[in-house]
Structure 1
Amino acid sequence: MNNSQQRGTTERSQVRRSELIATGRKLFADTSYDALSMDDIAQHAGVAKGLIYYYFKSKRGYYLAIVEESVSDLVARAASDTELPRRERVERTIDGYLRYAQHHQAAYRTIVTGGVGFDTEVQAIRDTVREELIATIAEGAYGRREIPRLARLALLGWLSSVEGITLAWLADLEPERETVCALLVRLLRGTLAAIGEYVPECPAPEEES
């Protein structure tokens, strides 16, 4: 097989893999990991079960690939909109986080709760999301992604409360997402004010008029 043929085969494999992940994202959006068998997945994807094993080795490997792909959208969104005013960028990041949780509820619960038992790979995905969100909030508040440990701990505490509130909100999606977003932004302001008291090099951002 020449180089051109190899590239063509690789590209087709990447396309097929992406198609399987897209199907899985739809299936697992509101369905838990245990609720779908590989036979169910293959039937919905319109492929032989062996093809899924070929690309992902196992059901767990398939699910982790889906989770990684879906959260990459959230991380990319958090890192975008750098041209926006800092306050608006922070608010958009929080709203995007809630939108993701709303439209990928099963995956979100898996990430936040760690899946079944203690899954180190899911924990790694969760840590990646957390680190990017904290860095984005820090950049929006202070103009830099690296902050002192105490400030980071405070933002991590705020993010933990965000996760708890979001999980509770997903139970019935009440109140409206915009209201929950406003609440989380208000709680963030309180956290930033507390950071300013304890970490002089991270003063609370001035309110924009």
Structure 2
Amino acid sequence: MVRVRLDTDQRREQLLRVGIELLGTQPVETLSVGTVARAAGVSKGLLYHYFHDREEFLVAVVRAATEELVAATEPDVSLPPLVQLERAIDGLITYAEEHAVGYVALVEGRIGIPGVAEVTKAQRERRVESFVEHLARMSPADPQTVRGSAVLRTAIDGQLTFLHQCVLRWLEQRDMDRATLLRFLVNAFLMAMLAANSVDASLQFDVLGASPPFQATVAESGRA
């Protein structure tokens, strides 16, 4: 096999990409340095040039995978609020479908490697902050009031768990079609936000036009 010479950043990115792809198709406990090296067309020694050991490599792969998940669910602020929400949740489902084994391992905490828990916790906190910031911009309330609402943060954090668990169940059971799952998850999120507003009226979410049921579909929102 002819090896392509890449610069340091390109080679590291290639190795992480291979790791993410493998993590999506096989359990992490079977993901060896040799497997990654063969898939990348490099020697084990070269992989160790970029990563101290297997654990450091897997932590880097998990970090890269969580960054991809964040990117896949990042709302497009140029769109109407409800379409933003739909596309963010649709992105989560798509990512879970395309990286099923790795997604399950990440969400269920099966990767028992030091450092992975810290990475996934940081990613979760980032998602909560992102949702809070988007809602702060959408609400007519004072942005600092929205950002400081413990009720809102609790609702969002709980919804992230709910979303992931529903997607995990769907991956295993496939007992509803994808469009129904998407509509259900969007409506559930909206209901949680309205519930937060009912406890903390200073959020002023009742005027966002987010009253469920939200029936728009991906096709209706203009997504190919």
Q: TM-score, normalised by structure 1?
A: 0.83
Among candidates 88, 92, 97, match of residue 87 of structure 2: 92
Contact residue 75 and residue 85 of structure 2 kept, 8 A: no
Say whether residues 1:131 and 2:154 are aligned partners: no
Deviation of 1:153 (Å): 0.7
Corresponding residue pairs, total: 199
Deviation of 1:18 (Å): 1.0
- Other-structure match for 1:59: 54
CA distance in 1, matches of 2:57, 2:111: 16
Higher helix share: 1
Contact residue 30 and residue 105 of structure 1 kept, 8 A: yes
Say whether residues 1:49 and 2:44 are aligned partners: yes
1:1-209 correspondence runs (5 A): 12-117=7-112, 119=113, 121-143=115-137, 146-205=147-206, 206-207=208-209
Percent identity of the aligned residues?
27
Contact residue 72 and residue 95 of structure 2 kept, 8 A: no
CA distance in 1, matches of 2:136, 2:120: 24
Deviation of 1:80 (Å): 4.9
Cα–Cα, structure 1 residues 61 and 83, in superposed 2: closer, same or farther, change >3 Å? Answer: same
Deviation of 1:12 (Å): 0.6
Contact residue 29 and residue 105 of structure 1 kept, 8 A: yes
Range with greater deviation from structure 2 (15-24 or 128-137): 128-137
Cα–Cα, structure 1 residues 42 and 110, in superposed 2: closer, same or farther, change >3 Å? Answer: same
Cα–Cα, structure 1 residues 174 and 103, in superposed 2: closer, same or farther, change >3 Å? Answer: farther
- Other-structure match for 1:3: none
SS for the counterpart of 1:182 is helix
Contact residue 193 and residue 203 of structure 1 kept, 8 A: no
Contact residue 34 and residue 44 of structure 2 kept, 8 A: yes
Range with greater deviation from structure 2 (66-75 or 81-90): 66-75
Amino acid at match of 2:129: A
Contact residue 94 and residue 184 of structure 1 kept, 8 A: yes
CA distance in 2, matches of 1:177, 1:120: 35
CA RMSD of aligned residues (A): 2.4
Q: TM-score, normalised by structure 2?
A: 0.78
User: Unmatched 5+ residue regions in structure 1?
Assistant: 1-8
CA distance in 2, matches of 1:156, 1:146: 14
Deviation of 1:120 (Å): 5.5
